Structure 1
Amino acid sequence: MTKQAGVTLAERKRQLVSDELSGAALRLLARKGFDAVTIDEIVAAAGVSKRTFFRYFASKEDVVIQFLAGMGAAMRAELAGRPADEPPSVALRHTIRLSIDACADHADQALRVVQLILGTPSLLARFLERQAQWRDELAAEMADRLELDPRADLYPQLAAGMALAAFGTVLQQWSDSDGAEDPADLTDRAFEIIAPALDAVA
Structure 2
Amino acid sequence: MTSRPAETLAQRKRQLVADELTRAALNLLAREGFDTVTVDAIAAAAGMSKRTFFRYFSSKEDVVVQFLAEMGTGMRNELAGRPAQEPPSAALRHAVWCSIDACAGHADRALPVVQLILGTPALHARFLEHQAQWRDALAVTVARRLGIEPAEELYPQMAAGMALTAFHTVLQRWSESNGAADPAALTDRAFAVIAPALDTVPGRGAAGGGPAPADAGPAPA
The two structures share one fold, judged by TM-score above 0.5: yes
Q: Match for 1:62: what amino acid? A: D
- Residue 100 of structure 1 and its aligned partner are, at CA, apart by 1.0
Partner of 1:195: 195
Partner of 1:15: 15
Percent identity over paired residues? 72
Write the deviation string for residues 129-173 of structure 1: whole angstroms up to 9, x where unpaired: 111111001101111111222112110000000000000000000
Q: Match for 1:12: what amino acid? A: R
- Residue 20 of structure 1 and its aligned partner are, at CA, apart by 1.4
Q: Report the aligned-residue RMSD.
A: 1.1
- Counterpart-to-counterpart distance in 2, 1:82 and 1:27: 33
Show the 5 A alignment for 1:103-122: 103-122=103-122
- Counterpart-to-counterpart distance in 1, 2:162 and 2:54: 36
- Counterpart-to-counterpart distance in 1, 2:90 and 2:36: 42
- Counterpart-to-counterpart distance in 1, 2:199 and 2:157: 14
- Residue 71 of structure 1 and its aligned partner are, at CA, apart by 2.1
Partner of 1:123: 123
More helix by share: 1
Which consecutive segments of 4 or more residues in structure 1 shift more than 3 A?
A: none
TM-score normalized by structure 2? 0.88
Partner of 1:84: 84
Partner of 1:74: 74
Q: Match for 1:43: what amino acid? A: A
- Counterpart-to-counterpart distance in 1, 2:49 and 2:181: 39
- Residue 191 of structure 1 and its aligned partner are, at CA, apart by 0.3
Show the 5 A alignment for 1:1-202: 1-201=1-201, 202=207
- Residue 8 of structure 1 and its aligned partner are, at CA, apart by 1.5
- Residue 189 of structure 1 and its aligned partner are, at CA, apart by 1.1
SS in 1 for 2:178: coil
Paired residue total = 202
After alignment, is 68-77 or 187-196 more displaced?
A: 68-77
- Residue 36 of structure 1 and its aligned partner are, at CA, apart by 0.7
- Unaligned stretches of 5+ in structure 2? 202-206, 208-221
